[in-house]
Homo-oligomer: A and B are copies of this chain.
Amino acid sequence: MPGTPTARYAYFGPEGTFTEQALRTLPAAGRAVLEPLPTITAALDAVRAGDADAAMVPIENSVEGAVSTTLDALATGDPLMVLREVLLPVRFVLCARSGTALADVRTVASHPHALAQCRGWMSATLPQADVVPAASTAAAAQAVAQDAAFDAAISSPLAADRYALEVLADGIGDVRDAVTRFVLVGRPGGAPLPTGHDRTTVVAYIADDHPGALLEVLTEFAVRGVNLTRIESRPTGERLGRYCFSIDAEGHVDDARVGEALMGLRRVCADVRFLGSYPRADAARPGTAPDDAGFRDAQAWLARVREGRTT
């Protein structure tokens, strides 16, 4: 539309990362300026500073687990809000400068998570190769393209293509069906409207160092029938044994049951940071949408009782 400013999306780069792939699955990305930034923190800080409207970052991988940097960057600093999530199957390739044969590969660069996910293939195929950590899989591909210091990179097919590398082996991840979950993060504001298949992300800071704290937190959700799909403890940095919890729950903050559970969380915790309610990328799973009818019925009943009725 003429006059509408073009949206600017930052992402964890450089070009060719899985994160860029995830961002490009969003229709809105086709009309936006996409800017790669060298770290997750840089991408999120660009949103905080107003240099980007939103940022795409990885949050969780089915093999390697939580992306701590993302969790910690969302839990601290100026508030941000998750607007969307994207699930991306992860496919690794070994790529090298044109003319390199598999037998010639002596050094392989990649992000530590990617190296970990291809460990089995590497020991079977390139047992003698040195592995070198890189800041991202795409940074590894870029380094191979620019510099003869490394013979090959483990990266996404997109990165191989972007840096004009040749694919020596495809699908080399040890776990078939590995998936990474990415989130599009913006500045606080109204959450996306409920769709009936939503997820809510919060960070809960435990009031004091009492052993039953996590049990209390879980009970607040369980009593309202709110399922949790992810829970991570993260150190607050103060000392061992001092944690906060990063939590994904089914449902939307506007759902009665989720609202009541969050109020309960707020009461038993020292602090709660709301990180957003947004549509689930795996919404198609049947039977997972919690029904709010029981909550609405109970609210109507309480209103009647408070006006003098008995049932």
Bound CA span A299–B81, Å: 20
Q: Which residues between 228 and 285 of chain A lie within 8 Å of chain B, taking CB atoms?
A: 228-235, 237-242, 253-254, 259-260, 262-264, 266-267, 271-275
Partner of A63, one of B81, B149, B237, B298: B237
CB < 8 Å neighbour of A239 from B112, B179, B306: B179
With A223-B264, A239-B177, A262-B302 as known contacts, state yes or no: A189 contacts B79, CB within 8 Å: no
CA of A310 to CA of B190, assembled, Å: 10
Q: Which of A230, A231, A237 has the most CB atoms of chain B within a 10 A radius of its CB?
A: A237
Flag if B302 contacts A240 (CB, 8 Å). Answer: no
Contact across chains for A112 and B87 when beta carbons are under 8 A apart: no
B310 touches A79 (CB 8 A): yes
- Min C-beta distance of A252 to chain B, whole Å: 10
Contact A68 B64 (CB under 8 A): yes
Q: Which B residues are CB-close (under 8 A) to A306?
A: 191, 253-254, 259
Tell which of B64, B229, B272 touches A311, judged by Cβ atoms closer than 8 Å. B272
13 cross-chain CB contacts under 8 A = A41-B119, A62-B235, A62-B238, A181-B240, A188-B308, A190-B307, A215-B222, A223-B264, A229-B241, A253-B306, A259-B306, A267-B294, A267-B298
Write out the residue numbers on chain B whose beta carbons fall within 8 Å of the beta carbon of A241: 229-230
**Chain B CB within 8 A of A208 CB:** no
Residue of B nearest to A235 (CB): B65
Q: Which of A169-213 contact B (CB under 8 A)?
A: 175, 177-179, 181, 188-191, 211-212
